[in-house]
Amino acid sequence: MHRRHALRSMVLAASSLAMLGGCSPESDLDEADALPLVSQEQGERAYDPGSGWRLAWQDDFTGTSLNSSHWTVLTSNWDPVTTNCNFGTGELEYPRAQNVTVSGGKLILTAQRTDERPMDSRCTGFGPRSFYSGRIHSKGKVERRYGKIVASIKVPSGYGMWPAFWTLGANISNVGWPRSGEIDILEWHSNEPTWMKSATHYFNNGQRSWGTGANRGYSIADGFHTYEVEWTANQMIFRLDGQIQGNVFNHNEPAFQQNHYIILNLALGGNWYGDPPASAIQLPAGQTKTMEVEWVRWYEQGGTTTPTALTNPSFESGMTGWANWSPNGTAAAAFSETHNGGRTGPHHLTHWTNNTPFEVWTYQAKSGLPSGNYRVRAWVRKSGNYDIARLQAKTCGECAPVFTNLGNYGSYTLVETPTISVTGGNLELGFHTRATSGNSANFIHMDDVELIRL
C-alpha cells in the first residue's frame, strides 16, 4: 500500500544531490541574504508565461465556493481514483469538505489536529487519522496533455507539512501507478524549506523516478510563489517563480504522452518524513495550517495552431507523397507498408527488421511554407530495439534535424517533434530509423502525420 514510499525517498535524495552540486544559481545564498517575508509576496497575475503560450484553462478561485466543474473534493482517507488508503504514503490526515474553502480570491486548504479519530471503513487496518485537511483533484473534469501547468501557491511552514501541486495520468484507474505517470510540480519539506522539489514517476522496465529541485535561497513557505512545469512531448522543465530552474527531464514514455489531471493537497507526516507520530507534527490542537492557492493555469503552446496540408498523411495511397532515403540500399530489407492495424484506415507505414541491418529515412518534402514555427505530429506503435528511432524534421537535406526519440508504445501514441523554425519555405519531415539487429518483434508502425504551424 505504500506504493509511493520508494519514490519519495528518491526525490529527497535527488534534491539533496542537487544542493550538494550547487546546481542552482541561488544555492550559495546564506542566512544573511535571506529576504524579509513581505518581499516574498507575489501580486496577483505577476506571472508571465512568455511569448508563444496561450491560456487554455484556469481557475482563479473567485466567489465563495469551489468550482465543481473543475474539481472534486476528497472526503475520506480512501481515494476512489487510486483506490488506496492514506494515499499510499501513510499520511496522517483525513480530507474533508469543510477544510476546502474559497474566499478572498483564493483556494484555502486548512489542516487541523483532531481527536475525533476519523477513518474510512475501507481503511480500518490503518487506524484512525489525527488531522483533518483538504485535498482536491480534477480527474474527469480537467484533463490535458503538454503545456505549462502553473500555480501561485503559499505553503505553510512547520515540521510535517507536505503541501503538493502535482498530476497523475488520467488512465490511472486502468493501468495503475506508476504506469499512469506522475508529475510532481511542487512538493515542500520542512527540512529543506528553501526548495521547490519536483519529480516524475513512471514505468520503464520497472518503477522509475526522477527528481530535481529549484532553490529560492530563502524559505519559500509562508509566501506566495509560482510553481511551474513546462511539459512537451520529450521534455519537462520545472521552474520556481518563473526563473529558477532545476534540471531538465527528458522523456519519451507513454505515461507522459497522455492526459493528466491536477491534484492540490496539504498532507501531514507520512513516509516522506519517515512516518513520524502525530505528536511530532508541528500543528498544535486549536491551531490551523493553510495551503493557499491564488490561481492555477494551464497554457498551450502556440497562438492558434494551423494544420498544414500534407500529401497522403495516413498512407492510404501507398507511398504517394513520401520518399525513402537509405544508405547502401538497405531500405528494401527494412521498409514495408502493411494493411494491418492502421490507426485510421487500413494502411500505415512500417519500418521493421528481420535481422538484416538497415537504416531508412521516410520523409515528405514541403516547399513554399509561410515562415514560422512548426511541429510535426504522428501516431506511433513501436516494439524492439533500434539504434535510431526518430520522428524528425529539418529545413534542408544536410541541415541538422529536430527530432523526438520514439519510445516503445504498445498502442498508438501521439508524438510530436520539438519546434522548428522555417524561414526559407522548405521542410522535410518524417521517420528516421536504424537497427543493426533484431527480429520480427522489431517494428514501428506510423500513421496520421500532421504538420502544425504554431
Q: Are 360 and 324 within 8 A, CB to CB?
A: yes
Residue for cell digits 510530436? Answer: 416
Give the DSSP per-residue string, 229-264: EEE-SSEEEEEETTTEEEEEEE---GGGSS-EEEEE
Q: Of the listed pieces 99-107, 161-169, 181-189, 446-454, which binds Ca ion according to CB under 5 A?
A: 446-454
Q: Which three cell numbers stand for residue 203?
A: 514505468
Q: Which C-beta is closer to Ca ion: that of 239 or that of 347?
A: 347
CA 244 to chain centre: 18
Q: Which C-beta is closer to Ca ion: that of 146 or that of 443?
A: 443
H or E element at residue 173: helix 172-175
Q: Of the listed pieces 65-73, 113-121, 185-193, 307-315, which binds Ca ion according to CB under 5 A?
A: 307-315
Work out how close the CB of 347 gets to Ca ion at its nearest, in angstroms, rounded to a whole number. Answer: 5
Work out how close the CB of 450 gets to Ca ion at its nearest, in angstroms, rounded to a whole number. Answer: 13
Work out how close the CB of 319 gets to Ca ion at its nearest, in angstroms, rounded to a whole number. Answer: 13
Q: How many residues lie near Ca ion (CB under 5 A)? A: 7
Distance CA 167, CA 158 (A): 24
Q: Which C-beta is closer to Ca ion: that of 295 or that of 379?
A: 379
User: What is the x/- site pattern for Ca ion, positions 340-379, by CB under 5 A?
Assistant: --x-xx-xx-------------------------------
CB neighbours of 160 closer than 8 A, spacing ≥ 6?
Answer: 92, 190, 268, 269, 273, 276, 280, 281, 282, 283
Q: Which C-beta is closer to Ca ion: that of 195 or that of 443?
A: 443
Of residues 79, 292, 428, 447, which one binds Ca ion by CB under 5 A?
Answer: 447
> CA–CA distance from 363 to each of 219, 331, 389, 399, 432 (Å)?
52, 13, 14, 14, 8
Q: Does 90 bind Ca ion (CB under 5 A)?
A: no
Burial 182-201 (b: 16+ CB within 10 A, else e): bbbbbbbbbebbbbbbbbbb
CB neighbours of 449 closer than 8 A, spacing ≥ 6?
Answer: 310, 313, 314, 364, 376, 377, 378, 429, 430
Q: Are 445 and 381 within 8 A, CB to CB?
A: yes
Pairing of strands 348-352, 443-453: antiparallel
Q: Of the listed pieces 104-112, 172-180, 223-231, 314-322, which binds Ca ion according to CB under 5 A?
A: 314-322
Work out how close the CB of 344 gets to Ca ion at its nearest, in angstroms, rounded to a whole number. Answer: 5
Q: Which C-beta is closer to Ca ion: that of 205 or that of 340?
A: 340
Work out how close the CB of 324 gets to Ca ion at its nearest, in angstroms, rounded to a whole number. Answer: 18
Of residues 198, 215, 314, 408, which one binds Ca ion by CB under 5 A?
Answer: 314
Q: Does 449 bind Ca ion (CB under 5 A)?
A: no
Work out how close the CB of 201 gets to Ca ion at its nearest, in angstroms, rounded to a whole number. Answer: 34
Work out how close the CB of 336 gets to Ca ion at its nearest, in angstroms, rounded to a whole number. Answer: 14
Q: Which residues 238-257 are close enough to bind Ca ion by CB under 5 A?
A: none
Work out how close the CB of 342 gets to Ca ion at its nearest, in angstroms, rounded to a whole number. Answer: 4
> CA–CA distance from 202 to each of 257, 270, 391 (Å)?
12, 21, 22
Q: Which three cell numbers stand for residue 343?
A: 490507426
Site residues (vs Ca ion, CB under 5 A):
314, 342, 344-345, 347-348, 447
